[in-house]
A = this chain, B = another copy of it.
Amino acid sequence: MTARAPAAAPPAEATTGRDAILRAARRAFTQRPYAEVTIRGVAADAGVSASLVVKHFGRKEELFNTVADFGPAADELFDAPPDRLGRHMVLTLVHRRRERQTDPLLRVVFSLGNHDERSLLRDRFQAQVTGRLAALLPGPDADLRAELIAGQLLGLGATLSLHRTGAGALATPEHLADLYAPALQKLVTG
């Protein structure tokens, strides 16, 4: 008798609506000022009812918090000792992208397309990613090095998304880490 593996994910139907809402919410909160985003607009973009959005995610503030939360991604990306952090970050980013068909950080970049002076999404990123990373780094210039490391992670995600059928899409995570991680490690070590 063979033990069956537990289901890895909820049934397709349930995730489709949820995922469509999340994608629509990401588009909305990254491309428009917070004040202009409505549950109704997100629902229309996702092709579902407003009440389904509220059922899954709550009101606008909770929906924003779900979309804007970089905490879980940072937990995974930064979960290694400093002397191995560079390689760990590259492998984690690539694995997460491939498994979940979405980049853990890149959505913050879309918020640069709208020309608000401030953006709640960018504030979250700065606190949960760059600020947290700076606190982990030994040595001088920690703030600047954290910004540059964040840039390298965003750049890796950006180029893999831009060249969706390119050389990066065909490369193994280990090969990508061989080429890309030494630079990150150098910025970590200082």
Interface positions of A (Cβ within 8 A of B): 23, 27, 30-31, 106, 108-110, 112-113, 115, 122, 125-126, 130, 141, 143-148, 150-163, 166-168, 171, 175-176, 179-180, 182-184, 186-187
B156:A151 contact, CB within 8 angstroms: yes
B112:A113 contact, CB within 8 angstroms: no
**B residues near A109, Cβ cutoff 8 Å:** 109-110, 112, 158, 162
A166:B147 contact, CB within 8 angstroms: yes
B144:A168 contact, CB within 8 angstroms: yes
Of all chain B residues, the one with the shortest Cβ separation from A113 is B110
Contact A151-B147, Cβ < 8 Å, known A113-B27, A183-B182:
no
Contact A160-B151, Cβ < 8 Å, known A113-B27, A166-B143, A183-B183:
yes
Contact A152-B150, Cβ < 8 Å, known A109-B162, A162-B108:
no
**B residues near A166, Cβ cutoff 8 Å:** 126, 130, 143-144, 147
**B residues near A30, Cβ cutoff 8 Å:** 113
Of all chain B residues, the one with the shortest Cβ separation from A163 is B147
B158:A154 contact, CB within 8 angstroms: yes
Given A23-B115, A152-B183: 16 more A-B contacts, CB < 8 Å: A109-B110, A109-B162, A110-B112, A110-B113, A112-B162, A122-B162, A130-B166, A141-B179, A145-B179, A147-B163, A148-B180, A150-B159, A151-B152, A151-B155, A151-B180, A152-B152
